[in-house]
Chains A and B, each alone.
Chain A
Amino acid sequence: MRKLVRRESKLVNNLSEFLIRVSAFARKEVAGIIRQPRLVAILILGPFLILLIFGLGYTNQERTLDTIIVIPAGSTIEERITGFADRLRGVNLVDFVTSEAEADRRLDNREVDLVVVTPVDPLGDIRAGRHATLEFHHHEIDPLEQLYVSTLERAYIEAINREVLTVAADRGKSQAGSINEKVQDALTDAKALQLDLERGNGPAALRDLEALAEDMQVLTFALSDGLAAYEGVESLEDETNPDQPRSIFGNVAEVDRLMASLALLDERQGSYAAEAEQAAAIVTELTLIDLFLEEIQKLDSRIVARPFEGVVSNLSGVELGPIDFYVPGVIALLLQHIAVSLAALAIVREMRGGSIELFRAAPISSFETLLGKSISYLVLTAILAAILTALVILGLTVPMLGSWAGYAVVILALLFTSLSLGFALSVVSGTDTQAVQYSMIVLLASIFFSGFFIALHRLAGSVQLVSWLLPATYGTFLLQDVMLRGLPVNPLVLIGLLLYGFILFAISWWRLRHKMASV
């Protein structure tokens, strides 16, 4: 019994000494940093100022390209181009010129950003079965700006094509009136055919059928010519669906089929009950065509030219500005950098300063040393994170849609793993300078690979492995979820981040243990 009490007492004593040794670093590091007010100011205000300047300076405005449009002499579309071009977004029309060489010279001199060369005779090109081509000249070397010009080119061409289709639809509408007369002629002949067949008058019915065939020929031609613009819309209907109303060209085809059947009519036949039913069907189809033409006349040509439009709905329920989007990434990046830099210098400074010599002789283990430093830096960086977060939320009015508890968990995990990464760098560094260089490399890698500026899905799979070696990648991902989407913390990503942190901590411990052993 006495032995057990002694053992318990020894255990408590050992635990107490363990905590005292670990706390040694917490007090030392905190006291060391607090005694350097300039450092504290830099650590707190520096990151916030970076964010503030970024917030004030980043406008995310669409770039407007100063543009010259070249309209060659004798162009058949000059009037239409000049009237149309100034309605385009992203283009600031500087001048219209007739000489392509002059426009290109001004582009070379950086007077303008874009030159659009319009074709001399676009209608002639189209009639000859060629595309009427507009040329876009620019001097951009930035791939993103090149993409912007290409996007602008597609928008420009799409707008022109839509304009052409609208004109075609307008013409179809005006022709629909005259086509309607031809439908009425056909309908009169069809009704006469039906009546003669019901009366059993074969010869008269054949004459009616002949007249109807002529009407349909004229009608088919008129429809093809005048309603071509509507054909595309009609073609969207699902022809395999039996419940789907037939298209106008389907109605015409059905009439043709029924008429072909009636063409085999025997004029000596006594009764034409079945044929009369077919004639009634022709009347029905023509009535449908008549109704369709009436509908066409009521349609808006712009809708015919552009039958579909997209509507984007953001289910997050919040309107985010560009700063809002970048803030989680910036917080993750800055906190990672501060933590990595502090920790990277932590061990190497003890080595260079000679303290490790004392630690070797003292009853303090490598684990206690690393744990003590981790706790002290975790506390310090967590305070920094809290102040930075308050400044960001209050100062830049960045939304926080998720829970604060989730946010705190992510920040602590990010800081722990970043510190572990810093310690790992510290134990392989020979000098302070080397440690700082390593931490700068981590920062540089984070800017490119953490998803801060370039979305991860834009990186090749193998390169994404580098991304997931950076705590900021996990941090950005999780903070965007919590802050901007209001989602709970993704457990898999969080576990991944913590696991990575523990692995780095273990590596740092192993290396420090080696360094603190006898040599």
Chain B
Amino acid sequence: MEEATLGTGNGKVIQVRDLVKQFGSVTALDHISLDIPQGAIFGFIGPSGCGKTTTVRCMIGNYRPTEGVVKVFGRTPDSFYLSDKKRIGYMPQLFILYPELSVWDNLNFAASIYGYPLKRKARLQELLDLVELSGHEKKLVRDISGGMQRRLSLATTLIHDPELIFLDEPTAGIDPVLRRKFWDYFRRLRDEGHTLFVTTQYVGEAAYCDYVGVMAHGALLMVETPEDLRYKAMGGDIVQFHASSALNSKMITDLRKLPFVSGELAFLDSQSVQLIVEDASTAIPRLLDWGEDEGIEIEAINQHVPPFDDVFVKIMEDEKAGQKRVEISE
């Protein structure tokens, strides 16, 4: 498998080559390769247990690769200096703060272990505002809800304003409104030049990312921009039209033979059909011409943008069917 190389013109913050991580006889990561540029949101999507967290742990230095190379800021994580670690923020998947301490104490503790200066009240308050925990400072963490704990966990990750932020399922257990706020904040951080590596099981969140990596069974199936991910997963753009009358078999055969149509047709009903084309913008006028030539009145035609859930299901089904993995290069 070729490496997935992304770029925006900036330097690569993370470089991974043929990363293999084994736990005994179990291979958790199978030859992962990718580069992540500075100032981007990289979404890491995959089903539970596919190796997302293991990849993150290899990148932050908690796990040592069995094979391959991981470089963050140009240095392998097991040789990080303290100054390197200060540039990284990590929000683990599970809540691992201290339930017997207050919200404020937990945030304060996180600031201290990153050596954040003692004049930090304003910074702490700013983060509490961000995660909407203002007014809950004195509450013990054991007494707040799971969602609030998640928000607090995010605040502790951002306390030292890290350049590179690893967020392992940050939006799990958070209501959709706040989830949206989180993503707005992530994008703001990205715009400020931070790099974010975000794992998620919410496939729809891929749309918020600059790049998306899809993992299954320890392998990286695809790394793309969200739009390209959708395109390549589905095999092209999807166009759907509705005819005024039912399509007959000749029409269907002719439709299949059109040069800009690729893949199988999908019939929504006897008058409606979805087809995959190389480029929807050029295919739609040509389809209208074809209808006119065939004497078919096309009442409605448009490009269908499938939700990422469908895209993800398609990728998983292809993976299960043993199709060749999608290999991406710039």
Q: Show the binding face of A for B, using Cβ within 8 Å.
A: 16-18, 20-21, 23-24, 27-28, 31-32, 35-36, 353-355, 357-365, 517-519
Contact = CB atoms under 8 A, between A and B. Distances in A.
Contact of A363 (B86, B94, B108, B109): B86
B115 A17 contact: yes
Contacts of B116: 20
A23 B118 CA distance: 11
B60 A360 contact: yes
B140 interface: yes
Nearest to A364: B113
B215 interface: no
A86 B140 CA distance: 71
B64 A28 contact: no
Contacts of A357: 57, 62, 92, 96
A357 B94 CA distance: 10
Interface stretch (B1-9, B98-106, B285-293): B98-106
B61 interface: yes
B82 interface: yes
Closest 6 CB pairs of A and B: A24-B112, A17-B115, A354-B96, A363-B85, A363-B82, A518-B64
A519 B64 contact: yes
Nearest to A24: B112
Contact of A362 (B77, B102, B113): B113
A309 B235 CA distance: 113
A18 B115 CA distance: 7
B100 to A, nearest CB: 5
Nearest to A33: B100
B96 A518 contact: no
Contacts of A31: 101-102, 105
A518 B77 contact: yes
24 contacts: A16-B115, A16-B117, A18-B115, A20-B117, A27-B108, A28-B105, A31-B102, A32-B100, A354-B92, A357-B57, A357-B92, A358-B96, A358-B113, A360-B60, A361-B60, A361-B85, A362-B85, A362-B114, A363-B85, A364-B114, A365-B82, A517-B78, A518-B63, A519-B63
A364 B88 CA distance: 13
A360 B108 contact: no
Contacts of A518: 61-64, 77-78
Contacts of B117: 16, 20
Interface string B58-102: 001111100000000000011000110110101010101010111
B200 to A, nearest CB: 19
B90 A358 contact: yes
A363 B98 contact: no
Contacts of B88: 361
Contacts of B108: 27
A450 to B, nearest CB: 32
Interface of B: 57, 60-64, 77-78, 82-83, 85-86, 88, 90, 92, 94, 96, 98, 100-102, 105, 108-109, 112-118, 140, 166
Given A20-B112, A24-B112, A360 B105 contact: no
Given A27-B109, A363-B86, A20 B92 contact: no
Nearest to B104: A31
Contacts, number: 86
Contact of B113 (A36, A359, A517, A519): A359
Contacts of A358: 90, 92, 96, 113
A17 B63 CA distance: 26
A353 B106 CA distance: 14
Contacts of B98: 28, 32, 353, 355
A138 to B, nearest CB: 56
Contacts of B94: 354
B101 A23 contact: no
A360 B113 CA distance: 11
Given A35-B101, A360-B60, 8 more contacts: A21-B114, A28-B109, A31-B102, A32-B100, A357-B62, A362-B114, A518-B62, A519-B62
B294 to A, nearest CB: 62
Residue from B60, B61, B62, B109 having most chain A Cβ neighbours under 10 A:
B62
A364 B80 CA distance: 12
Nearest to B112: A24
A24 B114 CA distance: 9
A358 B115 CA distance: 14
A35 B112 contact: no
Residue from A36, A353, A355, A363 having most chain B Cβ neighbours under 10 A:
A363
Given A361-B90, A519-B62, A32 B96 contact: no
A362 B115 CA distance: 10
Nearest to A28: B109
Given A35-B140, A355-B96, A358-B92, A21 B62 contact: no
Contact of A27 (B61, B77, B78, B112): B112
B165 to A, nearest CB: 11
A354 B90 CA distance: 13
Nearest to B153: A358
B62 A360 contact: yes
A27 B115 contact: no
A21 B100 contact: no
B164 to A, nearest CB: 11
Contacts of B82: 363, 365
A376 B102 CA distance: 18
Contact of A360 (B61, B86, B166): B61
Contacts of A362: 85, 90, 113-114
A20 B118 CA distance: 8
Contacts of A28: 98, 101, 105, 109
A24 B96 CA distance: 16
A361 B93 CA distance: 14
A38 to B, nearest CB: 12
A519 B62 CA distance: 6
A36 B100 contact: yes
Nearest to B77: A518
A21 B113 contact: yes
B115 A363 contact: yes
Residue from A35, A355, A358, A360 having most chain B Cβ neighbours under 10 A:
A358
A36 B88 CA distance: 34
A224 to B, nearest CB: 90
A31 B92 CA distance: 24
A30 to B, nearest CB: 10
Contacts of B77: 518
Nearest to B91: A358
Nearest to A23: B112
Residue from A31, A32, A359 having most chain B Cβ neighbours under 10 A:
A31
B114 A363 contact: yes
A392 B3 CA distance: 72
Nearest to A26: B112
A353 B109 CA distance: 15
A366 B128 CA distance: 29
A517 B79 CA distance: 10
B112 A361 contact: no
B113 A35 contact: no
A18 B118 CA distance: 12
Contacts of B113: 21, 24, 358-359, 362-364
A61 to B, nearest CB: 47
A18 B83 CA distance: 12
A21 B61 CA distance: 20
Residue from A24, A27, A35, A518 having most chain B Cβ neighbours under 10 A:
A518
